[in-house]
Structures are given as structure tokens and as C-alpha cells.
Amino acid sequence: MTDQHPALRWGILATGYIAQAFASDLRTIGRDIVAVGSRSADSAERFAAEFDVPHAHASYEALVDDPDVDILYIATPHPLHAADAVRALEAGKHVLVEKAFTVNAAEAALVRDTAAARGLLATEAMWTRYLPHMQRIRQLLADGAVGEVRAVFADHTQSLPLDPAHRVNALELGGGALLDLAVYPVSFVFDVLGPPTSVAAKARFGETGADTEVATLFTHASGAVSTTLSSMRSAGPNTAHVIGTAGRIDIDQVWYAPTTFRLVATDGTVLEEFRADTPGRGMQFEALAAERLVATGNLAGDILPIDETVAIMATLDEVRRQIGLRYPGEPPL
């Protein structure tokens, strides 16, 4: 894969599973990772050895201060995103922040405003937005291929670890279905229909107080409705559907990862079947988009503007208000 914009010098902040996946996908487009930072020297050195990274830093602060880094991919737990992003921005680094972008809209706005004040890019690593099948779906919708969109629905359902100490079950780490899973279908709904004009939400909770299931029902300015279901206790179909007056788009399992879809007319005729050969997990596309935004000076973003990220977090705040979910140390919503 080639790209017309100059490559940035990437640093990776944190060394967990998602950071490893991102590093692997960066390699598919020939990008150099110049530095990695962890809370421990051993972890940083192991990561550096695996991905051939020249600089391994034993603290996040040392990574942020590395003069060879242009942009940081931030892969720490959700509650740390805002502070880590602000620290990086204040050091003059662009940031690509793993989803969920922050814990709440106030933190998201702080990151946005810090980036704007310094003329830097802060963007959300919602990798699904940039995948080839999503790019094609966006084009079909803009061309009116399904007519007027009347409804959207999607599920993100997985069977995740039950260990109470695991990150996904720990409220102090932002654990629960909402920030780990529901952010995907909610972001998809925003992409297709824009922000909701009304929000209704229900949830179920586990032993640690983390949300295990979340369901949402939104209405939108066009009059369309959307529904999402997210669960971390059961694996469902993980499909998504856009329903219009002239047809529908059926996105196959797993809809938020590289996959296939069909454009289907109202009489059942399949008008288009989309398949793409996507190397790796597909996270390289968000990296390319970040480099393009920096190169063109469009620091507000386009496929996922930073203002939209803040609006998504505000919607998740309202969902949490309705279901009674609050993270430790957080002020009331």
C-alpha cells in the first residue's frame, strides 16, 4: 500500500494487545515506529525487540519528550487517555487516541481544545471508520443508493473475560460494555445519521458494577431511528444494517472489522457485493488518515472530525446518566 503524503515518525504509548496490533498494521504500510513507551523498561524493551523499534522508554513521560517522535498512538486504558493526550500535545506531538477517546465529553473537549491551541492534530482511533468497506458504504449512501435512510441497527456482542480484576470488568479502568463495545455501533450511527435528537438507553450490570449489556434507541433529525445492542457476556451476530426506502445495506460479521457487505434492492435483488483484501487488522488506514490530515493542515478532521468525537462522548454521557453508570472519581454527569 502506498500513500502520497509524507510518513510521520510514530511513537506508541503503552504496549498492550491493541498497541501490538497497531504496530503490526503500521508495518504493512512500511511505516517506521521510532519509539515506544511503557511504565516498565522490560515491557518497552520486549515491544521494541518484537517490532524493531530503536528507542524503548521506561516511562510515558520519556516517550512524550522524545524529539524523534512526530505523532503518538495512545493505547492506555480509557481513564488515562485525556491526561496522556494533553501531555503529548503540550510536548508538541500530534496524537491518535484509541477509542473510547476519553471517559466523558468534558475530557474530550479538553483534548480537542488543547490540540487546537497548539496547532496539532488530535483524532480518535476509531479504525472502523477508515476501513475499505465503510468507505464504500459512505459513498453509496451519499449517492442515494438506498433512498431515504429510515433505520440503522447494529450489535457489538462478545464473550469477554469474567475475571473481576480484568480491565473490562474494572470500573476504575473504564471497564464495561459501553466504552469498550457500544462506542463502535454508536459511532456508526453517527456516521450514517448524524447525532441523535433523542436518546433512550437500558443496561444490565455485573458483579463489579460494570455494565455488561447496553441497548440504545435513538431518533435523528431526519426522523430516522437507530438501535444498538452491546454485550460483553454473549457473542451475537455482530452485523449491521442500513435500511432505506429504495433498499438496504447488510454488513456481515464482523461488521466493524474488515468484512463484506451487500447492497440489496427492496425486491431482494443483490445490486452489489463488496469484498476487499485487507492486510492485517486494518488499523493502518486510520494511521494513513492521520498523516493525510497533518500533511494537508486539516487538523479538525473529516471522516471523523474531532467535534463529532466530542459529540459522541456527550451521547455516551447521556446514556450513562440514564443507566446510572459513573466511574470512580468522576464528577456527576
- The pLDDT tens digits of the residues spanning 281-322 come to 999 999 999 999 999 999 999 999 999 999 999 999 999 999
122-125/94-98 β-pairing: parallel
Dump pLDDT digits (tens) for 30-64: 998 999 999 999 999 999 999 999 999 999 999 99
Dihedrals phi, psi of 89, to nearest 5 degrees: -60, -40
In a domain, 270, yes or no: yes
Mean confidence (pLDDT) of the chain: 96
Question: What residues make up the domain containing 171?
Answer: 132-277+313-323
Q: Are residues 165 and 92 in the same domain?
A: no
Q: Are residues 153 and 242 in the same domain?
A: yes
Instruction: Please list the residues that pair with 264 across neighbouring strands.
Output: 248, 270
Q: Are residues 136 and 94 in the same domain?
A: no
In a domain, 41, yes or no: yes
Q: Is residue 181 scored above 70 in pLDDT? A: yes
Q: Are residues 116 and 29 in the same domain?
A: yes
Q: Are residues 272 and 319 in the same domain?
A: yes
Q: Can you give the pLDDT at residue 4?
A: 63
Q: Is residue 183 scored above 90 in pLDDT? A: yes
User: Nearest 5°: CA angle at 16, between 13 and 19?
Assistant: 55
In a domain, 199, yes or no: yes
Q: Can you give the pLDDT at residue 273?
A: 98
How many CB atoms sit inside 10 A of residue 52's CB? 10
Q: Are residues 176 and 319 in the same domain?
A: yes
- The C-alpha atoms of residue 288 and residue 73 are separated, in whole angstroms, by 13
193: left (phi over 0), alpha (psi -120 to 50) or beta: alpha
- The C-alpha atoms of residue 131 and residue 60 are separated, in whole angstroms, by 29
Total domains, the chain:
2
Cell output for 84: 496522556
Q: Are residues 174 and 260 in the same domain?
A: yes
Residue 254, domain CATH? 3.30.360.10
Cell output for 186: 454508536
Q: Are residues 68 and 181 in the same domain?
A: no
- The C-alpha atoms of residue 206 and residue 163 are separated, in whole angstroms, by 11
CA nearest neighbour of 178 among 287, 50, 326: 326
In a domain, 329, yes or no: no
Q: Are residues 109 and 144 in the same domain?
A: no
